[in-house]
Structures are given as structure tokens and as C-alpha cells.
């Protein structure tokens, strides 16, 4: 029975980017609290602001390879793994050099087939959000065995009325990437069979910043603890 419960546990990904304001100390505090709260992974984003957004507005939250290495090593030291959303091929190599165990493909990157195929070709587990992809019309974008898909609405914050939560036990979606306020929608997704939950994490929900829109719909430590506890209970009930 114990093995069945462990196997059925929901994977929680704590998205700590870009809510760190460009501070390594803030990043490490978020990593530590994510570990304490029960997340399985912390996730960062690796991009060039100029290349991805055609401006330098988000340059202050860019991570260099050395900064990524520092966060990866710190995370492993306290017992949690760092994963990354990668937005260009150069930064895929950073992840390979640092032996990251899992990749994320962001909604905005799904149409970049060259990048996606490069990530998938690492043969590491890959998760992809489909918030900007018309899966109802186009179907599954990639059918590789190492990729799983997250249901997502790419809006910060997402209104509850915009969500058409799938039945994950019958859908090709494995999990849910959340941008709503609070954790209620995440728990609803888990009750419907989601095996992966991704949600932004913050140390201060009250921050209002154009380049860090996710603070208001992020979880804090107490939210994460509640999400972990209730996810585990629902997982047992779903056995």
C-alpha cells in the first residue's frame, strides 16, 4: 500500500521566476521555502530578454550560466532539484552541462519547433504547457514518449470562468499549470486526476510590477504547504 501511495503522489513544481527581482539571495530564499513547503522541483526561466521580448525590460531577471549553476548546486544541497524553461538552444547546453533532470517548454515556445525538438532530443523528461496552442484544432504538437502536457491558460491572473478543466484521467493532459489566485483550482485539477501541478511562488503577493505579473496569482509558503497536504490526501482518495 505504501508504494502505491508514493507512486500516486502529485508532483508539485514551484515556479520561482521572475518573482526573484534579479536577486540571488531572493532566489535562494524561494528555493528554501519551496523545499520546506513540499515542492518536488523549483523552476527557473532561461532566456535573453532582447531575443525573446525584443527589449531589455526583463534583463534584470535574466540568469547567467554561473548564476544557474549556483542555484542548481544550492538546490541539490538542501534536497530539491532545479528545472528550467529554456528559450534558446545555447541555454539547453547550460542545462546539459549542469545535468538538469527535466525540461519545461513554455506555452510561448510551442510554435518554435526547432527549439522544442532540440529539447525533446535530450531524452530527458519534458513537460510542455499548451496555453498558447490550439490543441482542440491542431491536436498534440509532439508525440515523443518523453513529453507530457499541462493544461494552461496564459493569463496573469486567470479568471475562474476562463478555465475548462479537463478530466485528466481521460485526456492527453498529465497536469495543470495554474495562474489563478489561490490554490483552489489546483486542488480541483488534482481531484480530476492531474499528476503534475505547476504554480508560481512568491515571498510577497502584494508586489505589482509589469515585468513580474505573476505575484498576485502565486503561492507563498503557507499556500504551498496547504497544496502539498491536500494533494496528498486527494491522491490517497483517488487510489
Question: Taking the domains of the chain in order of start, what are their residue ranges?
Answer: 2-237
Question: What is the percentage of the chain residues whose pLDDT exceeds 90?
Answer: 85
Closest CA to 190 of 213, 163, 165: 165
pLDDT tens digits along 124-161: 999 999 998 888 888 889 989 999 999 999 999 999 99
Q: What is the mean pLDDT of the chain?
A: 93
- Kindly state the average pLDDT of the residues 104-109: 95
pTM, two decimal places: 0.94
> Is residue 50's pLDDT more than 60?
yes
Phi, psi of 109 (to 5 degrees): -95, -5
> Confidence class of residue 2 from pLDDT cuts 50, 70 and 90?
very low
Instruction: Give the Cα-Cα-Cα angle 209, 213, 214 (nearest 5 degrees).
Output: 130
**Average pLDDT estimate for 216-234:** 97
**Residues whose CB is less than 8 angstroms from the CB of residue 160 and which lie 6 or more positions away in sequence, other chains included:** 180, 185
Which triple of cell numbers denotes residue 38? 513540499
Q: Identify the band that residue 6 occupies on the pLDDT scale cut at 50, 70 and 90.
A: low
Overall fold of domain 2-237: TIM Barrel (3.20.20)
Strands 173-178, 147-152: pairing is parallel
Amino acid at each position: 500500500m505504501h508504494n502505491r501511495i508514493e507512486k500516486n503522489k502529485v508532483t508539485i513544481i514551484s515556479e520561482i521566476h521572475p518573482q526573484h527581482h534579479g536577486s540571488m539571495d531572493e532566489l535562494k530564499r524561494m528555493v528554501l521555502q519551496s523545499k520546506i513547503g513540499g515542492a518536488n522541483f523549483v523552476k527557473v526561466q532561461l532566456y535573453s530578454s532582447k531575443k525573446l521580448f525584443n527589449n531589455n525590460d526583463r534583463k534584470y531577471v535574466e540568469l547567467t550560466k554561473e548564476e544557474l549553476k549556483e542555484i542548481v548546486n544550492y538546490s541539490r544541497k538542501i534536497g530539491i532539484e532545479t528545472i528550467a524553461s529554456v528559450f534558446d538552444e545555447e541555454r539547453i547546453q547550460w542545462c546539459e552541462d549542469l545535468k538538469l533532470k527535466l525540461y519545461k517548454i513554455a506555452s510561448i515556445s510551442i510554435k518554435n519547433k526547432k527549439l522544442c525538438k532540440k529539447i525533446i532530443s535530450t531524452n530527458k523528461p519534458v513537460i510542455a504547457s499548451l496555453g498558447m496552442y490550439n490543441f482542440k484544432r491542431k491536436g498534440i504538437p509532439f508525440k515523443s514518449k518523453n513529453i507530457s502536457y499541462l493544461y494552461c491558460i496564459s493569463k496573469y491572473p486567470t479568471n475562474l470562468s476562463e478555465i475548462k478543466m479537463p478530466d485528466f484521467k481521460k485526456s492527453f493532459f498529465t497536469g495543470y499549470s495554474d495562474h489563478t489566485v489561490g490554490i483552489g483550482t489546483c486542488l480541483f485539477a488534482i481531484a480530476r486526476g492531474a499528476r503534475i501541478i505547476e504554480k508560481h511562488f512568491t515571498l510577497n503577493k502584494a508586489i505589482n510590477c509589469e515585468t513580474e505579473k505573476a505575484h498576485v496569482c502565486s503561492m507563498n509558503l503557507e499556500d504551498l504547504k496547504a497544496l502539498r497536504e491536500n494533494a496528498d490526501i486527494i491522491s490517497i482518495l483517488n487510489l
